[in-house]
Amino acid sequence: MRTTFQPPQKSLTPRDYQFIALVIVVFIGVCTALVFANLTLKGGGDFYVHWVGARAFLFDKIDPYGGEVPARVQKIVYESAAKAGNEPYILDTPFQILPFYYLFSFLSDPKIARAIFTLILELALFALAILSLRLTEWEAPRIFTVLFIFFAVFNFYTFQAIYEANPVLILGLLYIGILFTYREELDELTGALMAFSLYYWEVGLPFLVLVFLRVYYEKRTRVFAGFFMSCFILFFISFLTYPSWIVPFARATVNNLRADFGYNIHTIFAHLWPAQGAILAWIFTGTLVITLGYEWSLARSGDNRRFYWTACLSLAAAPLLGFRTEVEHLSVLIIPLALIFAIIHDRWQRFGNGLIILLMFVIFALPWTLYLFSVNRFGAEIIFLFLPISTLIGLYWIRWWAIRPPRILSDFASRL
């Protein structure tokens, strides 16, 4: 009889159990401390609009897309009715997403509910930073891993996402999951993650279009199977609980667009250059759309390196395509920034370390400086434009080396 060799299995020692227990205790302690710290935060409107909407639907039998929800949220955030220039907080979330907030709706205290949800966002942010580095396959020195996590957690844009308790950080985690699972050929899971990420079109629409193009070209039908099955389940549950939600949702979406709160490239250009701003914005947007179309056509059939780079480009380009968006939505650009830093380190090893530190410092310090010392809307618009434009420039700077591994002796020699 043929037997297979099985290596001896090492049992855990008492010291191992002590270490595991210590890690669990430390984790629980850190989470508890973060919850208490989150209770001191103001803002949180992006969570409250979902929390109030869920409670209104479950307990008060009120249409979550009606006018009562924004009025309640404004009283929580502003402690009064909203004034001119304040965010209207109109719920325009697809109803299949709202059940994910039902668990928080059972907490009657909005501050406690927001603090716990913010803890989830903070954990998601930490995971997003780690996985963004892992996706690059960058064997970063430990000091740069620590620096990148610090940069990702404390930069201005992710701070705004935490302050407003915006679910965009969870959305960024879904994007990372899509890239990981697609690379590992976990097709059904990729499709499911895409179904859950059908939210905040202004953040991820170009990214999702690219993924769909790639899936269609490679004829990976299991991705579509996972996507449509997950969508069917989500929509079935939503129509089962609220059969007529489509029309109120569409009305709320239109009302939110009319409110015109946030930023888009057209209003910013019109403000910066009153005479030529409209034309310049259309030229800029048109050029960016053509560029994206060209890169998508190459990435559709390219290797994984090109697909990954183009996915990062799609995320960086989304805020500049004319969709109305907000500053906290830019926190997903942690994903392309990790790629930029990784290529700089691998390509220019002689002075790449110093360059990475310099770039991290500039991207970290400039928005905070403008936020703290700028007194008009011009500074806020520069803060908004700074990160996506810088990321686009960085991506095209490293494009050659990102999509092509070193192949000739001169490429290797230039790294020495």
pLDDT in tens, 174-232: 999 999 999 999 999 999 999 999 888 889 999 999 999 999 999 999 999 999 999 99
What does the CA dihedral 154, 156, 162, 163 come to, rounded to 10 degrees? 120
Tokens of 176: 């990372």
Sign of CA dihedral 26, 30, 36, 37: positive
Q: Is the pLDDT of residue 154 over 90?
A: yes
Q: Is the pLDDT of residue 404 over 90?
A: no
**Contact 109/157 with Cβ under 8 angstroms?**
no
What value does the mean pLDDT take over residues 372-399?
89
What value does the mean pLDDT take over residues 351-377?
86
* CA separation for the pair 333, 16 (Å, rounded): 38
What value does the mean pLDDT take over residues 378-383?
87
Closest to 143 measured CA to CA, from 308, 305, 289, 360: 360
**What per-residue confidence (pLDDT) applies to 317?**
95
Mapped onto helix, strand or coil, the DSSP state of residue 330 is helix
Tokens of 261: 């709160």
Percentage of the chain exceeding pLDDT 90: 58
Sign of CA dihedral 182, 320, 87, 258: negative
What value does the mean pLDDT take over residues 362-388?
88
**Contact 206/321 with Cβ under 8 angstroms?**
yes
Out of 29-38, 88-97, 253-262, 381-390, give the one with best mean pLDDT: 381-390
Q: Which band of pLDDT confidence, cut at 50, 70 and 90, is reported for residue 312?
A: very high
Q: Is the pLDDT of residue 10 over 80?
A: no
326: left (phi over 0), alpha (psi -120 to 50) or beta: beta
What tens digit of pLDDT does each residue of 63-113 get? 999 888 988 998 888 876 656 557 788 888 899 999 999 999 999 899 999
Q: Is the pLDDT of residue 401 over 80?
A: yes
* CA separation for the pair 261, 324 (Å, rounded): 8
Q: Which band of pLDDT confidence, cut at 50, 70 and 90, is reported for residue 410?
A: very low
Distances in whole angstroms, Cα of residue 3 to Cα of each of 6, 57, 128, 382: 9, 62, 44, 68
In the chain, what is the greatest distance between 2 CA atoms, to the nearest angstrom? Answer: 87
* CA separation for the pair 49, 166 (Å, rounded): 10
Q: Which band of pLDDT confidence, cut at 50, 70 and 90, is reported for residue 310?
A: very high
**Contact 163/43 with Cβ under 8 angstroms?**
yes
Q: Is the pLDDT of residue 4 over 60?
A: no
Amino acid at 179: L
What value does the mean pLDDT take over residues 116-131?
94
Closest to 253 measured CA to CA, from 367, 144, 394, 95: 95
Domain boundaries defined on the chain = 16-413
